[in-house]
Amino acid sequence: QVQLVESGGGSVQAGGSLRLSCAASGRTFRRETMGWFRRAPGKERQFVARIISGGSSTYYAESVKGRFTISRDDAKNTVYLQMNSLKPEDTAVYYCVATQNNGISYAYWGQGTQVTVSS
């Protein structure tokens, strides 16, 4: 059974940092694009960041560029999201995602981890 399990969420004050982890199991995601989405209360789901197979290219939403860093450790089948200079508007449930057969859409989703940033 393929699973993506996020961890590392929590509550921080504005300006603080958190590091999210996403541990994949059931298959290797070495050749897949992996990423993060988030959903804030009352808002639509929003793309946050993605990293391609091998980690040579990353892409970020404008709202997090320069503050968030996505990385991956394929030996551990894990993707990370380092979040610095957090703002209250970063408060959301964060979801780890992965493609299948390196397709365009994200076939795999984690259950989400809550990030709360207080002012």
What are the tens digits of pLDDT across the range 65-102?
999 999 999 999 999 999 999 999 999 999 999 999 88
Structure tokens at 72: 């991956």
Structure tokens at 55: 């980690």
The Cα 117–Cα 32 span in angstroms is 31
pLDDT at 103 > cutoff 90: no
pLDDT digits (tens, 9 = 90+) for 107-118: 999 999 999 999
Residue 27: predicted pLDDT: 93
Residue 15: predicted pLDDT: 98
pLDDT digits (tens, 9 = 90+) for 3-53: 999 999 999 999 999 999 999 999 999 999 999 999 999 999 999 999 999
Query: What are the CA-CA distances from residue 94 to residues 46, 49, 81, 101, 112 (Å)?
Result: 9, 11, 10, 23, 5
Residue 16: predicted pLDDT: 98
* Neighbour-count burial for 35-52, b at 16+ CB within 10 Å, e otherwise: bbbbeeeeeeeebbbbbb
Dihedral through CA 52, CA 104, CA 97, CA 65, nearest 10?
60
